[in-house]
Structure 1
Amino acid sequence: MGATVKEEVKPYISKWSKATMDQSGEYLRIMRERIPATYMVKIESLASLKEAIAATNCNEKDHVELNHFKSGNYKWALCLYPEGNKKDDGKDHISLYLKLVKPPGNKVIATMFNFFIYDQLRDNYLMIQGLKEKRFHAAKTEWGVSRVISLDDFEDASNGFLKDDSCVFGVEIVYAYVNVQPQVAVVHTTTTSTTHLKSYSFKWEIPKFSKLKLPSQYSPEFNINGRSWKLKIYPNGELSSRSIGLYLYLNSTSSTKGNKLLVEAELRMKNQAKLSQGKDHKHTLGQWFVAGGSGRGYTNFIGLDNLEDFKWKDKIIIEVNVKEIAFVQM
């Protein structure tokens, strides 16, 4: 009697035993034994669920928002597309999405999460692991994967995901922390070149200039294109230098507070001694101004030893011309 040859039983090796990267590079697929930590839902009859979805009165008859659950003090929902989210290139796939229910005001919930499908034959899970942080807020309440698994693989009995029309899905929120929604800046720019921008001017006459004793002197506030400005001069030199310092400031008002303004400005000291042939002394700057912030200008605007041509009866005249280029509204 011949020996009996025992057939070798090969162990089952899942196609997901080795980690595989999603085409987007945002998710990793791999089998895991540990149960999802946050939420699981068992669907007793997937066919009946599909019929119920199709019979609803809502316009989108392709998915179901499963029971709400809480994590990190926020309410969430797992959304299932049993035949794929076709609007997100998920045709012929299972699609899963995580939804933030009732976003909290202007806050942003930064989250990492994983999706799961239970293998009922081997008691482990296909995990779709998120690799990039997702930001949930009022304008974006859902993030997910349109191609979690193909319907062919999902319905293949040997994979264990669908057994007797029953299946189990899960989600695990790894972390969720709150960021306050950042302010949104709106930049209003001109539609013409700077050479054609309208220039706005202010003239500041300073009598008895040599008698000024304070280290610095502010001009009266003046209005240019609906915004409040002022000049600041260091008549006896700034920082122990032998040069006059001259600066332009954007005042903080109800219309400019917290905003930024890009301008092209010309600071000019008038030549009064030789008005017919003499030249004014000027410097041009292109700078961003913050309302209520530091001034923009020059520490060495003009040397103290070069003032004689610019004074008349101990009076000097400062002019500023401003062209607005861009306004950033926070």
Structure 2
Amino acid sequence: MEEEKCHSGEFEVGGYQWRLVLYPNGKKNSDGNGHISLYLAIAHTNDLPLGWEVNVNIRFFVFDQIRDKYLTIQDANGRVRRFHNLKTEWGFAQLLSHDTLNDPSNGYLLDDTCVFGVEVFVIKATGKGETLSMINQPQHNYFTWRIDNYSNLKGEAYFSEHFTVEGRRWELKLKPGGSETGADTCLSLYLCLGDSEILPPNRKLYAKYKLRIRDQVHGNHLEKTVENWFSDPNEGYGFHNFLSKRDLQDTSKGYLVGEGVLIECKIDVISVVNDFSSN
């Protein structure tokens, strides 16, 4: 019987494709019973040259959703791990015990959701490489978009002005008439990479963020959290049915005041890739 495991989406660091592999019930042949196991795996190894090997420093992260901080797990002294044809995964069979994970006071499991991250430091013989880091609560991560004369919005889609977080340009996308499951009944709201933001081939950008429409009367704001890997500036991620048109027009809700709507975005976590050189 195959072990239960799940994979993250692929991401690119140092010219290689990677993914996280999570074993919720532990990796059995590595003494992972009673724990969750987390590994970094190199992908598409059939595309790599004969005799390939990749040397990597790795740090794993588990997000404490109560205290808004990360637990960091790494090898002692930053040990370098060598990936090759016979060893395509490195990680921890006993990352966290199930007792620690399931204890609500620790904040790792909240609303049946866990957040994991990894920092990958690829060491190349040329002395050059790349690191991918997860930045928690980056600077200038809050953006407000005020829309006046909302009832006059007759187009299919509208975009906010650009805003910058950790050197990347972003914009909000609003569809007043809704889209897909929210068509004709809701307004749809998304976060997009700015249209001038072009990522290198095969590289993706991770973000965890909150989308919000303010209740301008009572302060009972409508807020939803989403996380995704971005690669295409034309592709936005958010909610087709963010807010129903009925609730928007209900003046007691406070979302539409004097024909004005306040939309906000807060990016809580973002990935950053940095080049480095030993020269």
TM interval, shorter chain, is 0.3 to 0.5
Select the structure with the greater relative contact order (CA < 8 A; seq sep ≥ 6). Answer: 2
The two structures have a TM-score, normalised by structure 1, of: 0.40
Q: Which has the larger radius of gyration?
A: 1
* TM-score, length of structure 2 as denominator length: 0.46
